Structure 1
Amino acid sequence: MRHEVTIEPYLGETSKGSRFGAAATVRCFVDEQTRTVRSPGGDDVTSGSTVFADPGTQAPPGSRVRLPSGRVTRVIQLADHDGGGLPTPDHVEIHLE
């Protein structure tokens, strides 16, 4: 895990806009590659970056993420990859806007 990002978990909407939790620094690997992913609403959207982090990393869709470049973006979707005890690299894949 060569990079660090800051994740502010999305907590929901208020009358004043989006609400976020406390920022947490997460060690990860950042892949700045454009790809198409499916949003939680079922739409195909373009992801500009993907973060690969340790299992258990919390970043619900809508969370705010600051990349090593300083760019601030939002989480589109999160996928847990767990090999169930097999010798595979367990991780969380976080697709960002």
Structure 2
Amino acid sequence: MAAIPKRFLRHRILVEPYRGRSSTGDLYGPAVEVRCLLDEKTRNVRTPGGDVVVSSSTAYASPGTTAPPRSRVTLPGGRTTKVIQDAPRDSGGLGAPDHVEIQLE
């Protein structure tokens, strides 16, 4: 199936990819603007490590979008948060739009 239609990607977020830690704190790459559909709903999600945490928002973006865990994200309203995980969603030919789900703290 095709990617999520661009007309649904109504929001823009800034993603600063997490690059690791240094002696002065977390390191981030340059900010990248990502078009997405932002759903600011609180829900429980599982981290890549298996822990259950609370997610305040989920961004649905085009396939191929990357947002590594712990990346810094600035939402349209100016609030800054971090990525819990990004998960590619492939419909496997079932007719649903393919996309990347980015779960945010």
Q: Smaller-chain TM-score range? A: over 0.9
Give CA-to-partner distance per residue, 1:38-92, whole Å, 9 cap, x none: 1122111000000000001110000000001110000001110012344320000
Structure 1 unmatched runs, 5+: none
TM-score normalised by L of structure 2 = 0.88
Find the counterpart in structure 2 of residue 74 from structure 1: 82
Give runs of ≥4 in structure 1 deviating > 6 Å. none
Higher strand fraction: Structure 1 or Structure 2? 1
**Match among 61, 72, 77 for residue 53 of structure 1:** 61
**Match among 32, 45, 48 for residue 37 of structure 1:** 45
Structure 2 unmatched runs, 5+: 1-8
Q: Distance in 2 between matches of 1:58 and 1:17?
A: 22
TM-score normalised by L of structure 1 = 0.95
Identity of aligned residues (%): 60
**Match among 63, 77, 86 for residue 71 of structure 2:** 63
Q: Please, what is the CA RMSD of the aligned residues?
A: 0.9
Q: Distance in 1 between matches of 2:22 and 2:93?
A: 41
